[in-house]
């Protein structure tokens, strides 16, 4: 498997967009959870406070980090049938065997019709 860093998003996209789950808690507070990083949560008395707290937490987390995009190239796998392809090409009885198979299939087709 080959990994390659395509680009650093911090130099390309200064603003990032995240999906946030807003939940009203039983105690009357509001919880904002970053869906892509569920451990990043903000709590507040209002939705705005919860989002502002989440934003602060995310800014701290991303302050000394960067986001990059990885391109992963999976290794090509060989078709397992290719190992036996042509196995009987030089077998003198191969043509006879194919004729037998065709005849047998015709018999089965005649029975099923």
pLDDT digits (tens, 9 = 90+) for 9-59: 445 456 778 999 999 999 999 999 999 999 999 999 999 999 999 999 998
The domain limits of the chain are: 2-73, 80-112
Categorize the per-residue pLDDT at 66 as very low, low, confident or very high, splitting at 50, 70 and 90.
Answer: confident
What is the reported pTM?
0.51
For the chain, what percentages of helix, strand and coil (3-state, to nearest 5) are there? 40, 25, 35
Contact status, residue 30 vs residue 49, Cβ threshold 8 Å: yes
User: Which CATH architecture group holds 2-73?
Assistant: 2-Layer Sandwich (3.30)
């Amino acid at each position: 498997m080959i990994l390659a860093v395509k680009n650093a998003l911090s130099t390309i996209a200064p603003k990032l967009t995240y999906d946030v789950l807003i939940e009203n808690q039983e105690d009357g507070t509001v919880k904002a959870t970053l869906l892509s990083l569920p451990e990043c949560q903000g709590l507040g008395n209002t939705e705005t406070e919860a989002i502002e707290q989440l934003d602060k937490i995310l800014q701290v987390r991303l302050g000394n980090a960067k986001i990059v995009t990885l391109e992963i190239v999976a290794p090509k796998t060989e078709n397992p049938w290719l190992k036996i392809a042509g196995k009987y090409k030089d077998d003198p009885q191969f043509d006879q065997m194919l004729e037998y198979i065709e005849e047998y299939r015709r018999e089965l087709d005649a029975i099923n019709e």
